[in-house]
Structure 1
Amino acid sequence: MTPTHKPRPLLALLAAACGLLGAGAAQAAETAFIIPPPAMDQTTTAAATEKAVIAGGCFWGVQAVFQHVKGVTSAVSGYAGGKADTANYDTVSGGRSGHAEAVEISYDPKQVSYGQLLQIYFSVAHDPTQLNRQGPDSGTQYRSTVFPESDSQRKVAEAYIAQLNKAGVYSKALATTVEPLQGFYPAESYHQDYLVRHPYSMYIMVNDIPKVENLAKTFPDRYRDKPVLVGDKG
Structure 2
Amino acid sequence: MTKLSVNINKVATLRNARGGNVPDLLKVASDLEKMGAQGITIHPRPDERHIRYQDARDLVDVVTTEFNIEGNPIQKFIDLVLETKPTQVTLVPDAVDAITSNAGWDTIKHKDFLKEVIVEFQNAGIRTSIFVDPVLEMIEGAKETGADRIELYTEAYADGYTENKEEAIKPYITAAFLASDLGIGINAGHDLSLDNVAYFHNSIPDLLEVSIGHALMAESLYLGFETVVASYLEKLQ
Q: Could you say whether these structures have the same fold, taking a TM-score greater than 0.5 normalized by the shorter chain as the test?
A: no
User: What TM-score, normalized by structure 2, do the two folds share?
Assistant: 0.27
User: What TM-score, normalized by structure 1, do the two folds share?
Assistant: 0.28
More helix by share: 2
- Return the structure number with greater relative CO, CA threshold 8 A, min gap 6: 1
